[in-house]
Amino acid sequence: MRVVIHGLTKEFMTGQGKIRALAGVNLEVREREFFGVIGPTGCGKTTLLHIIAGLEKPTKGTVEFVGEKRTEAMVSMVFQDAALMPWRTVERNVPLGPEFRKQPVPVYKRVTQFFLEMVRLLDFSGAHPAELSGGMKQKVAIARALANDPEVILMDEPFANLDAQTRLLLREELLRIWEKERKTVILVTHNIEEAVMLCDRIAVMSAAPGVVKSVISVDVRRPRSFKSMSDPDFIRCLEKIWDLLRFEVDKAMKENHPSRVENPEGQQRRKPYFDWWD
């Protein structure tokens, strides 16, 4: 399923005035593509993902899903925090989507077993989240997203809270799973290396208010792994993205806020930094 975004603008009203997080984002994510979104802190990446997921409404613009029409489970989301239910075991966390849609118990039990086996956690099906490592929790969250059988999976910095070694392992696991399932995936990340390792194309966003500065094709052979990071094409792509990002990151740091805004009296004033629409 393709995701077509046209003229997407998002504004928030605060005590400091009107804050513009996104300012006319245009994107098209292809069917079965692994698509990345990267940009400086505060550029509206997470807000963009929330609007695609239907968790936020845009001020202007549209998000259109183009492809097979379904009434259920079109989009699943994997958050930075695995957001598992601590009182449920792993095997009871995974089938939340099928369970909420009141599918027969034997059906969602088979689905759960299939995806726990895919993420290599079948032996931990009876464990509670408190008994799992951070990486294992995120694998459960990925299994839960897949069990919902979505056309599009949204991932908001899913490995950001993990140590460097675990991130590397989970990137390879995610690539292995994506190669099997071939879902349309949209990944938000701050990590350029992660984006290049995982994605087919990457949208580079400006400092806030966020717009798409450029979309870069990742011309690195698949299948990819840790060894791909030494590929000259991988390094060239890293450098190209950083050349685009450097100015935007510097701008965001110098201003220490996403944008200048208008107060009700029409006077410009600086607003404090807010992290929640990143």
**Whether 29 contacts 94, CB under 8 Å:** no
Q: State the pLDDT at residue 274.
A: 36
DSSP 216-278: EE----SS--GGGGGSHHHHHHHHHHHHHHHHHHHHHHHH-SS-EEE-TTS-EEE-----TT-
Q: State the pLDDT at residue 18.
A: 85
Angle between helices 134-147 and 164-181 (to 10 degrees): 20
pLDDT tens, position by position, for the chain (278 residues)? 899 999 999 998 877 788 899 999 999 999 999 999 999 988 899 999 999 999 999 999 999 998 866 544 489 999 998 899 999 999 999 998 888 888 888 888 899 999 999 999 999 999 999 999 999 999 999 999 999 889 999 999 999 989 999 999 999 999 999 999 999 999 999 999 999 999 999 999 998 889 999 999 999 999 999 999 999 999 999 999 999 998 888 877 777 554 444 443 444 444 433 343 45
Tokens of 165: 């070694």
What phi and psi, each to the nearest 5 degrees, are found at residue 213? -80, -40
CA distance 138 to 38: 20
Sign (positive or negative) of CA dihedral 237, 21, 159, 93: negative
Tokens of 82: 């695995």
Closest-CA residue to 64 (of 28, 89, 95): 28
pTM value > 0.75? yes
Q: State the pLDDT at residue 3.
A: 94
**Whether 278 contacts 42, CB under 8 Å:** yes
Q: State the pLDDT at residue 130.
A: 95
**Whether 215 contacts 222, CB under 8 Å:** no
How buried is residue 120: exposed, middle or buried, by Cβ count under 10 Å (0-12/13-18/19+)?
A: middle
How buried is residue 150: exposed, middle or buried, by Cβ count under 10 Å (0-12/13-18/19+)?
A: buried
Tokens of 95: 């089938």
